[in-house]
Structure 1
Amino acid sequence: MNEMVELGKSLAEVRETFRGGRTRGVAWRKTQLRAIIKFLTDNEDQIFKALEQDLGKHPVEAYRDEVGVVKKSANLALNCVEKWMAPKKGHIPLLFFPSKGEVLPEPFGVVLIFASWNFPISLSLDPLIGAISAGNTVVLKPSELAPACSSFLASALPSYLDPKAIKVIEGGTDIAEQLLQEKWDKIFFTGSPQVGRIVMSAAARHLTPVTLELGGKCPTILDSLSGSSDMEVAVKRIAGAKWGACSGQACIATDYVLVERKNAYILVDLLKKIIQRFYGENLKNLKNLSKIVSKHHFDRVRKLLEDPIVAASIVHGGSVDEENLTIEPTILLDPPLDAEIMTEEIFGPLLPIISLDNIQESIEVINSRPKPLAIYAFTKNEAFKKQILTQTSSGSVTFNDVMVHFVCDTLPFGGVGQSGFGRYHGKYSFDAFSNEKAILQRSFLIELEARYPPWNDFKMQFLRLAYSFNYIGLVLLYLGLKRTSR
């Protein structure tokens, strides 16, 4: 009961703070952005410890995917927020002369951010940066599945950020459900499609706009590459992105690879060598590999391998360590396309390879499944690139690399269809938490009588020409009217 009372007080305070107006000023926004940068700098070691405790992340991986990426995002927002806030001049047609038009970004108000457990720092703070830049007050709900990171954010952030404008609320599904009962001006959710549907359903009760950053089975297409060095680089990038990003527990990680049959065993052999070099061979002493986040998720991933037909397709790995919640990097060659491992998002260190007679068939395979968050394609064939772009739909496409688009702030990040909707990163984060308010200022000098009754043929002709932007026709019509009236 006390928990509900405290939650109610927190929500009342952030609403009152927004109504007070101080978050709209550039000074407040910049102060909070600087505070996020200082928070990351002061607490880097504690963040690394929390990430190691929750997910077994190495400090280098933690800096690359969590601390460094958020610092970069905060610095960009700090340098650009005044420009982003400024009203943009709108083009006004001659028909409205004399007039002036602008588009003014304004904050939505009080926003709710649900963060995910797989990147518990960056997926909490990166959307927060966008919300702050846009001038909102915020309630942030970290994931309870990363308890060390959640606890650290809840205890440390309030001493850096405005505690009356930004609240960190910890808790499980009961708190999440309570938060969803409230009326928000925007909800930003990162997580699974299943929970995304619940969030969207709750938001619909109040017609609350939502951004859903979900998941999906992101395919990688590996076309025939001309040189062995190019093939080695491609396979290294695939391996690094699959197993080196939270052990495959990432919405943008490669879920499966599509390759021509003649290249399938070349791919498998190269992957084996890279796995040995990156992560080692002994399951009990695997290096640089994050653990599975919980026993529940460990059992879910392990269950994917228990199907005898799927198990028969394992060509490398397959061992599990329940005590340490680790699963060996595992390669499967041609598991059945209707098996669960090929119909559900894996979110773990298992990599199915699907061999095809012709790489063109990869488009058919992708299109037979829900639209993915990202498509990766290694190819030098420009015609094939165009075919991928025009014949598939996805949140993004990256050629000749994997996952790096996530840290490119000048490109929007987000999904389509089941993989989500809405965009963020860089200026797109600011836009995600802003309402673009149209402003039109008119003069009293000219009055177009054709907009008013009584109606006649001249007014019909005038409106037809006006709506077709035929200004020469309007002038001729006016001159003709003047001659007739003489």
Structure 2
Amino acid sequence: MTGFTQLEEIPKIHAALRKTFRSGITKPIAWRRHQLHQLARLAQENADEIADCIYKDLGRPKQEAIMGDVAAVIERSLIVASNLEEWAKPEEPTVQPWQQSWNTRVEKQPKGVALIISPWNYPFILSVQPLYGAISAGCCAVIKPSEFSPHVSAFLAKAIPKYLEASAYKVILGAVPEITRVLELKWDHIFYTGNGRVARIISAAAAKHLTPTTLELGGKSPVLVDSSADIDISAKRILWGKVNNSGQICVAPDYILAEKAIVPQLIDSIKKHSQDFFPDGALVSKSYGKIVTDAHFNRLKGLLQRSKGKVVLGGQWDEKTRGIEPTVVIVEEEDALLEDELFGPILPILPVESIDEALQYLQDRDYPLILYGFSNNKVNKQKILDATMSGAVAFGDTFQTVAVNEVPFGGVGESGHGSQNLKYSYDSFSYLRPVFDIPFQDEQFFGARYPPYSEKSLEFFSALLKAPIPKI
């Protein structure tokens, strides 16, 4: 990508945003609402260009770009705008009777100047979704998009100042030198979407300034399938989740733990649906994307070459287009395909004797972003919920966790911390500020707190030492 932001300009951008924030222009609700409407307008009026940029960067079909990026941004920006006034209202807690004259309230205040670091795999929505959170909270923000999605990044740099207040929202383009310079500066919140390796670097940089972070990561999101499931529908839904963006999404099903008895039927169903999805072959299909860079392509190819598993579907690739077929591999426990998050269209299946064995396997591993379960057995579903930890759990389908606006989206442990989506995005960029207004007339109630202390004042404050505490 040409046109990287000059290193000497980065501190100037940071200082200008801080000046804008201190001016107070981002705080009025009407101003924020207008910016959110403009964000929706940006997506709506440039839908074709955005889809074209995504295709150039990722080979992603237009329907996937509209469905997964553009339409969601329009919808969510408008929902946030319509609910903003309600979300921003101060909370009035119920306080002790003797404190009721204090006008106690909890205000929602913007954290300040935010940094949004977005990834290449969904470069538009994963840049703009945190941005609507920052806007709605009243923050200024910088977006640092990925150098691996150059067309979308260039579009954002061009479009953001046209639609949004240019003094409040900026785009910084670049690679390692630029993000290194960015991270040397003090931000009021950092929102990062990506992988755990880079998240550790960002966390270390943030810690120097005690900057709070939201880390949207990923990990190996497993799929559990038992013999009670509708195997054909399960196979179709799992495969669909895997081929979206060629598996390059944090919520893609990473691998399957399936009861041995149903593995042959599961494989047959996946093969059938793969043929239905791509009748002329995935590598020539206009409904199937490519791998983003040569480095990512070679990593996935290397994993397939290292794997000792049995390929039962796919396994072919095209060096020229960086295409890799949807590939299903039967593996054993220590296979290379089970080491790290795959982030590609490779789907290992690890046969297990039972759901109990699958749960034992999961308990020894990092907490995933999403845990998928395919079962009609209520007991097994409850076992899955009771025995695991994950950012979310979805029974019966893949991918759809990102389609529900009203719940928080985020990880736990290695899959991240903090959350986003509508009000949760607003909350991420806000902080709670208690406010008290204690009347001078209440001085009559405060006499016992002042020195010189006495037996009487000590007795007053010791009352709770005699409070009954239930034994059960």
Instruction: Sort the TM-score into its range (normalised by shorter chain).
Output: over 0.9
Matched, 1:85 2:84: no
Per-residue deviation at 1:117?
0.4
Structure 2 counterpart of 1:321: 318
Displacement, 1:98? 3.3
- 1:402-421 residue pairs with structure 2 within 5 A? 402-421=398-417
Q: Summarize the Cα distance change of 1:45–1:464 in structure 2 as closer, same or farther, 3 Å threshold.
A: same
How much does 1:157 deviate? 1.8
Alignment correspondent of 1:358: 354
In structure 1, give the amino acid aligned to 2:347.
L
Q: Provide the residue aligned with 1:290 in structure 2.
A: 289
Matching residue of 1:482: none
Confirm whether residue 339 of structure 1 aligns to residue 339 of structure 2: no
How high is the sequence identity, in percent, across the aligned residues?
A: 38
Unaligned runs of 5+ in 2: none
Deviations 1:325-350 (A, max 9, x none): 000000011x2322231020000000
2:450 corresponds to which of 446, 449, 452? 452
Task: Determine which of 383, 389, 393 is the counterpart of 1:393.
Answer: 389
Q: What SS class does the counterpart of residue 90 from structure 1 fall into?
A: coil
What residue is the counterpart of 2:50 in the other structure? 47
Q: Which residue does the alignment assign to 1:442? A: 438
What amino acid is aligned across from residue 368 of structure 2 in structure 1? P
CA distance 1:464–1:354, change in 2 (3 Å):
farther
Q: CA deviation at 1:380?
A: 2.4
Report the Cα distance in structure 1 between the residues aligned to 2:255 and 2:205, rounded to whole angstroms: 33
Instruction: Give matches, 1:121-140, under 5 Å.
Output: 121-140=124-143
The residue aligned with 1:380 is 376
- Deviation string, structure 1 residues 294-343 (Cα, Å, up to 9, x no partner): 00000001111112513xx211111011100000000011x232223102
Q: Distance in 1 between matches of 2:317 and 2:414?
A: 31
Contact 1:134 1:430 in 2 (8 A): yes
Q: What is the distance in 2 between the residues matched to 1:223 and 1:308? A: 25
Q: Which runs of 5+ in 1 are unaligned?
A: 471-486
Secondary structure of the residue aligned to 2:367 is: coil
8 Å contact from structure 1 (residues 92, 100) kept in 2? no
Q: 1-side partners of 2:75 and 2:33: how far apart?
A: 15
- Distance in 1 (CA, whole Å) between partners of 2:98 and 2:224 is 51
Structure 2 residue matching 1:441: 3-state secondary structure: coil
1:197 matched residue in structure 2: 200
1:448 and 1:459 map into 2 onto residues whose CA distance is 11
Mapping of 1:103-122 within 5 angstroms?
103-122=106-125
Distance 1:363 1:460 in 2: 56
Partner AA of 1:463 in structure 2: F
Q: 1:144 aligns with which of 138, 142, 147?
A: 147
C-alpha contact 1:215 1:252 (8 A) present in aligned 2: yes
In 1, the alpha carbon distance for the partners of 2:157 and 2:465 equals: 56
User: Residues 53 and 2 (structure 1 numbering): CA distance in 2 closer, same or farther, change over 3 Å?
Assistant: closer
Tell me if structure 2 keeps the 8 A contact 1:283–1:319.
no
**Could you say what secondary structure the match of 2:15 adopts?**
helix
Query: Higher Cα Rg: structure 1 or 2?
Result: 1
Alpha-carbon distance in structure 1 between the residues aligned to 2:238 and 2:447: 66
| SS at structure 1 position matched to 2:421 | coil
In structure 1, give the amino acid aligned to 2:23.
G
Aligned length: 463
Q: Secondary structure at the match of 2:436?
A: strand
CA-to-aligned-CA distance 1:179-218 (integer Å, 9 cap, x gap): 0000100000001100000000000000000000111000
**Any conservation in 2 of the 1:95–1:466 contact (CA below 8 Å)?**
no
Q: Could you state the TM-score of these two structures normalised by the residue count of structure 2?
A: 0.94
Task: Tell me if the contact between 2:226 and 2:354 (Cα under 8 Å) persists in the aligned partners.
Answer: no
Deviations along 1:342-373, one digit per CA (max 9) or x if unpaired, are: 02000000001111111222211111111101
Q: TM-score with structure 1 length normalisation?
A: 0.92
